[in-house]
Amino acid sequence: MSNIIVTIHDSLSPIRGGGGLRTLKTALEFKKRGHNVRIFAPSNTTIIEGIPVECLNAPIKEKMFSTTLKFNLYLLLKLIKNRNKIDIIFCHNAIAGILCTFFSKVFGKKIILDVTDIHTEYLLSAKKNVLKRLPLMFFRKLEYWSFKKADTLIVVSKAMRDLIVKNGVKRDHIYVVYDGVDVSDFDTKKERKNHISIIHHGGIDAQDGVHYIPMAAKKILKKHPKTKFLIVGGGSRLEQVKAVAKKERVLDSFIFYGWRPYSEMRKFLKKADIGLITRPNTLPNNTILTLKLLEYWASATASVVPKLNAIMEVSSDKEDALFYEPNNYEDLADKVCYLIDHKNLLRDIQMNGMKKARAMFQWGILIKKIVDTSLIK
Where in the chain are the domains?
Answer: 3-180+362-374, 183-360
Q: Please list the rounded mean pLDDT of every run of 10 residues in the chain (377 residues).
A: 96 85 96 97 96 94 86 96 96 95 97 95 79 84 96 97 96 95 92 94 93 98 98 94 98 96 90 97 94 96 98 97 98 98 97 96 96 90
Between CA 167 and CA 172 the distance in angstroms is 14
Q: What pLDDT, on a 0 to 100 scale, did the predictor assign at position 81?
A: 96
Angle (CA) 237-203-128 rounded to 5° is 50
Q: What superfamily would CATH give domain 183-360?
A: Glycogen Phosphorylase B; (3.40.50.2000)
Please tell me if the domain spanning 3-180+362-374 has the same topology as the one spanning 183-360.
Answer: yes
Indicate yes or no: pTM above 0.85.
Answer: yes
Helix axis angle for 130-149 and 119-126, nearest 10°, is 170
E strands within 57-208? Answer: 88-92, 110-115, 152-155, 174-176, 197-201
From residue 38, alpha-carbon distances to 85, 90, 174 in Å are 10, 10, 25
Secondary-structure class of domain 3-180+362-374 per CATH: alpha beta
* Closest to 113 in 3D by CA, of 52, 39, 25, 174: 174
pLDDT digits (tens, 9 = 90+) for 106-147: 999 999 999 999 988 988 887 767 777 888 888 999 999 999
Q: What pLDDT, on a 0 to 100 scale, did the predictor assign at position 345?
A: 98
pLDDT digits (tens, 9 = 90+) for 220-250: 999 999 999 999 999 999 999 999 999 999 9
Q: What pLDDT, on a 0 to 100 scale, did the predictor assign at position 151?
A: 96
